[in-house]
Structure 1
Amino acid sequence: MKNEDTMNTQYDAIVVGSGISGGYAAMELCKKGYKTLVLERGRDVEHISDYETANDDNWDLPYNGRVPKKEIDAHYPKQNRLSWWVNQDNKPFINKDDEYPYEELSRFDWIRGHHVGGRSIMWGRHCYRWSDIDFEANKKEGIAIDWPIRYADIEPWYDQVETFVGVSGQAEGLKQVPDGKFLKPFELNCAEQDFREKVNAKYPERVVTPGRIANLSEYDPEVHLGTRGQCQTRNRCWRGCPFGAYFSSQSATLPVAHETGNLTVRPFSIAAEVCYDPKTQKATGVRVIDANTGEETVFTARIIFCNASTVGTTALLLNSRSERFPNGMGNDSGELGHNLMDHHYGMGAGGTYPGFEDVYYQGRKANGFYIPRFRNIDDETKRADYLRGFGYQGNISRGAHVPEETIGVELKETIFKPGPYNVSVACFGEMLPYHENRMFLDFEKRDQHGMPIITFDAKLRDNEMKLREDGVQCAVEMLEAAGVENIWSYNDLTAPGACIHEMGTARMGSDPKTSVLNKWNQIHAVPNVFVTDGACMTSSGTQNPSITYMALTARAVDYADKQIKAGKL
């Protein structure tokens, strides 16, 4: 999706990264009239034509969709630590570890996709608003630093973003996950609805609701701009959707930006450094390395938005060293690279859901149910053993049960008989913002492009361990309340990064001595540089974070535009 103006080096705005937040920044900037350059370190991906496996069945794929161990060991040893992540159908959108190596003092599973659109092509699409329970938690508990914003600051931007994105969901009136601008929900199936009712009967504070996801359950061409259509419930989302039914940079933000005539997208462009002018005390542009030729070019702009993902953005800022910023741009506080967070999972429960054998459902909807946080939200739910809380994502489904030895006519008859309903409940826990959890650059080691190697040192700690135990126990309790049979549970510790919700490392705050960004997502000491991806987060919440990144991005672009027009930026 490149405009013709690829030889120009001077723009009004530069956006580093083309994923969830980068695409949104580009769209908002272009709509406001700014000639905008989007830098993407990976290849171009065209909507529809580059979704190579979108219409394939498993038997159409090599090795029935699996990737041989030899290939995994050679190219994806870290990306595939989760065992389920790298497959033939989504492999075109997964970065090869050997092409972008990193090191660990403590294990960190950095899941990446380097291409135009980034992880907006493969994301899980769950969208839940934060509340003041999240924004006030640090201050109330004396943890890390206080957020410089509250729910009222971001609520109108949630409204704007959700309307454009298209979030299906059901209003529940819960203070911990405020209701939003919802399309009609993908309804719970019969067993899931039964689960909702039985859990509510015993645990009224535990609400089983349809997952709130960025899939268009209904389509309005005047609102859902770009190249979008209604969800076909194929549940092949991480392959890229030819219907544009879920929100991605390819289907929504970049097409809208492109239509303005103000967008230039430059693939294979490694952002190496944000350039700084000590006289003006502002950034002047971005030094870029061509990933194919190694040629270096400096692109200049009035404002710069860093949206290369939590890790990518902070690595860029850490590498942007000067006499004024010897330890990385905006790092006066020493907090750049610290307070690395992720959600943690690998815990939950499941079993056989009895009944409903004479009932089936149609389609493969792209979501199941969600159970919002119900711990530590008020005095009645306060725990003495740990802080914060957890939420659940799960589903109840049925499929054929075919014994391994079944062959011939018996096999053909068996595969058409649906088996019992099975339930799975996965717990997602909040991680506290520990200063000790960090990423940094090893300037003694370089990758193939001459860039310093990113190194991680982060781990779960005592609070997370206690939270996990309760999360598993609560899952079992809910299954028992619903009469689930053959209940099993698990608590398999995951490393940070594995949940693909990495956050922090360039946190927002009111005091430049303890934070990197102000309440408008500006670097305190460099006001024309904004960070609106996951790096800006001051705590992690329990909710999937992408809708919050987009709301913060829209808010920051609006502020930057007003500052420029007022002659202040």
Structure 2
Amino acid sequence: MSKFYYNEEQESYDAIVVGTGISGGWAAKELCENGLKTLVLERGRMVKHREDYPTANLDTWDFPNNGQPTREDLTKQEKQNRTGYTTKTASKHWFVNDLKHPYNETKRFDWMRGYHVGGRSIMWGRHSYRWSDLDFEANKKDGTAVDWPVRYKDISPWYDKVESYIGVTGEKLGLPQLPDGQFEPMMELNCVEQHVRDKVSEHFDGRVITAGRVAHINSDKKFEGDGRTRCQYRNRCIRGCPFGAYFSSVSSTLPAAERTGNMTLRPDSIVHEVIYDPDTKKASGVKVIDRETKEEYVFKAKVIFLCASAIASTSILMQSKSDRFPNGLGNDSDQLGRNIMDHHLGVGASGKFDGFEDKYYKGRKPNGIYLPRFRNLGGSSNSDKFIRGYGYQGGAGRGNWEDTIAEISHGKELKDAILKPGGWTFGMGGFGEVLPYEDNRMTMDYDKLDEWGLPTVTFDAEFKENEWNMREDMKNQAVEMLEKAGLRDVKPFDNPGALGLGIHEMGTARMGRDPKTSVLNGYNQVHTCKNVYVTDGAFMTSASCVNPSLTYMAFTARAANHAAQELKKGNI
């Protein structure tokens, strides 16, 4: 991505986009391609595709301490380290310093953040699944929270657009609960994964194991972007992909926006307030603090897109106070900051498999298996212990760490053991839906300020009975499936962590049909300030049990095109 230039003298734009990650990149692309002069603001540093991936081509032995964080590292990233993988030397530079960017926890909340151009689109897990009407209708059918103001038919063409642009590998399954999409060739299962797939299908009606649907190019098809080419099966994705094989905003949507000549990108720009004009009943712009100089700026625009991530966008709305909105912009419903959701994970089972000793695999594919939701779909699949459902991710591999310990083996035996693959193991972990609860919330603490003088976020959210009951079933079903598949030494695990650990935080400015019970309408507009759109995870009204980024992208593309049309009509 080439250098972007910013003209300090220009104050007014057609559109402002806050954030440069999954959602912000798509907003920038669609607005710019619709002819809008667009200012894109990022609170973190500049990152250029390829140039700024410092660890992308390093091997394990190139890192001190075998890539593990030091005690000193962890004092600066204790919360970011809760995942167990984000703060390893190869990736720690993508995640924030917790001392510099503090937050508060009434109850534990694992808020994983990356402040730089590209956001978490550089480090995301890339699993990309469509929602179905089962998800969009769930709240209404079981009386939870509020009804979604959209259905699958409204979003389906935008899923098509996004998948065709980013490249998503997958296998068409014909499952109503997991609609098929526009797929690149599926990444093949290895022999043990295929064996488990066959056995699960044989013993369990309606359960199918497939390969994870991931946003990777897996063919020689040409995709728009900065030299994007097919996946090299290196599995170093979290470091940044110099091949552009997986989708990120820095390799794809931001360069597309730049090519129009309509984008101005300004990094190091901390947006903290949307300015409301009581005369027009619209937003007139945003207030910004320069990250490095701490100078303050005001930028004006006809339309504003908040894409800073769920917690950050809602923080901006909460700080946007006026006579009309004393509790935050658009917060007549008192739903701003409530209904925090994520996915609960860290529960499942693993075991060993005897056989296929003559089989191995080539490369390090960046995905494993996916087993779509099979609970509460009707009939015998229904549970009387919990509502909604879960899926599984996992995979099979070979290896035995004991083979390289000198005390166990030495000399020729050690060398032989290192060169010979260990036995096969297979593991699967569940991803379960978290319900929207009004009292799972975030608030702003104006007594504890950050170094820019801004209030810090306080989290007060937890798993509740439905999630705990679901986890028991997730564990038991994983054990049963692996035992039926012929694995031995099958062992369950259940490490719940806390909300946030799934890095799918969402729901703090939900969309809905009624302004009295929601913040946004069905086009992601603030009900009471129609030229402000929120298209990151904040808008989610429920969580489903699938990774949400594909849905964010589809809604963002839809909202940006809606905004462009409404501007041309003079409606906003």
User: TM tier, shorter chain?
Assistant: over 0.9
**Runs ≥4 residues deviating over 4 A:** none
User: CA 1:484 to 1:372, structure 2 compared with 1: closer, same or farther past 3 Å?
Assistant: same
**Counterpart residue number, 1:441:** 444
* Residue pair 1:6, 1:266 contacting (<8 A) in 2 also: no
- The alpha carbon displacement at 1:434 in A equals 0.2
Q: How far apart in 1 are the matches of 2:476 and 2:456?
A: 40
1:400–1:415 CA contact under 8 A, matched in 2: no
Partner of 1:481: 484
2:195 is aligned with 1:194: yes
Q: How does 1:40-439 map to 2 (within 5 A)?
A: 40-73=42-75, 75-221=76-222, 223-401=223-401, 402-404=403-405, 405=407, 406-439=409-442
Cα distance, 1:261 vs. partner? 1.0
Q: Indicate the SS of the match to 2:446.
A: strand
Per the TM alignment, residue 444 of structure 1 is displaced from its structure 2 partner at its CA by 2.0
Shift of 1:220: 2.2
Kindly indicate whether residue 546 of structure 2 is the aligned counterpart of residue 543 of structure 1.
yes
Q: Which amino acid aligns with 1:130?
A: W
SS at match of 2:560: helix
Residue deviations 1:179-211 (CA, integer Å, cap 9, x gap) = 000010001111111110000000121110010
Q: CA deviation at 1:63?
A: 1.2
Matched, 1:10 2:39: no
Query: What is the CA RMSD across the aligned residues, in angstroms?
Result: 1.0
Which residue does the alignment assign to 2:527? 524
What residue is the counterpart of 1:567 in the other structure? 570
Q: How far apart, CA to CA, are the structure 2 residues paired with 1:403 and 1:565?
A: 66
TM-score (norm 2): 0.98
State the distance in 2 between where 1:147 and 1:165 align: 26
How far apart are 1:383 and its partner, in Å? 1.0
Q: Give the alignment partner of residue 450 of structure 1, picking from 446, 449, 453.
A: 453
Runs of 5+ unmatched residues, structure 2? none
Shift in Å at residue 408 of structure 1?
3.7
Say whether residues 1:500 and 2:496 are aligned partners. no
Q: Distance in 2 between matches of 1:5 and 1:41?
A: 15
Q: Which amino acid aligns with 1:368?
A: G
Preserved CA contact (<8 Å) 1:2 1:266:
no
The sequence identity of aligned pairs, in percent, is 55
* Alignment pair present for 1:491 and 2:529: no
Deviations 1:50-80 (A, max 9, x none): 100001011001211111022202x101111
1:355-388 Cα distance to aligned partner (Å, 9 max, x none): 1101111111100100011001223321111010
| Cα shift at 1:84 | 2.8
C-alpha distance in structure 2 between counterparts of 1:232 and 1:84, whole Å = 22
* 8 A contact 1:166–1:224 mirrored in 2: no
Q: The residue matched to 1:284 in structure 2 has which SS?
A: strand
Higher mean C-alpha displacement, 367-376 vs 403-412: 403-412
Secondary structure class of the residue paired with 1:463: helix
SS at match of 1:55: coil
The amino acid of 1:173's aligned partner reads G
Looking at structure 1, the residues matched to 531 and 453 of structure 2 have their Cα atoms a distance apart, in angstroms, of 27
Deviation at 1:116, TM superposition (A): 0.3
Q: Is the 8 A contact 1:400 1:414 kept in 2?
A: no
CA deviation after TM superposition for structure 1 residue 349, in Å: 0.5
SS class of match (2:27): helix
- CA drift at 1:540: 0.4
3-state secondary structure, aligned to 2:444: strand
Q: Indicate if the aligned counterparts of 2:396 and 2:426 stay in contact, CA closer than 8 A.
A: yes
Distance in 2 (alpha carbons) for counterparts of 1:192 and 1:551: 31
Mapped contact 1:235–1:366 kept (Cα < 8 A): yes
Shift of 1:4: 2.1
Name stretches of at least 5 consecutive residues in structure 1 with no aligned partner: none
Distance 2:216 2:311 in 1: 27
Give the structure 1 partner of residue 560 of structure 2.
Answer: 557
- Cα offsets for 1:70-107 (capped at 9, x unmatched): 2202x101111233321000111111111110001111
SS class of match (1:419): coil
CA deviations over 1:114-143 (Å, ceiling 9, x no partner): 000000000000000000100001000010
CA distance in structure 2 between the partners assigned to 1:102 and 1:261 by the alignment: 38
Q: Distance in 1 between matches of 2:65 and 2:537?
A: 36
Deviations 1:140-188 (A, max 9, x none): 0010000000000000000000000100000000111100000100011
Residue type at the aligned position of 2:39: L
**TM-superposed deviation, 1:443:** 1.5
Can you list the C-alpha shifts for 1:505-544, whole angstroms capped at 9, x where unaligned? 1000010000000000000000000001000000000000
Tell me how far apart the structure 1 counterparts of residues 90 and 73 of structure 2 sit (CA, whole Å). 15
Q: Structure 1 length as normaliser, TM-score?
A: 0.98
What's the secondary structure of 1:11's corresponding residue?
strand
Task: Give yes or no for contact 2:6–2:265 (8 Å, CA) kept in 1.
Answer: no
Q: Distance in 2 between matches of 1:272 and 1:49?
A: 30
* Structure 1 residue matching 2:423: 3-state secondary structure: strand
Aligned to 2:452, the other structure's residue is in SS state coil
Further displaced range: 433-442 or 377-386: 377-386
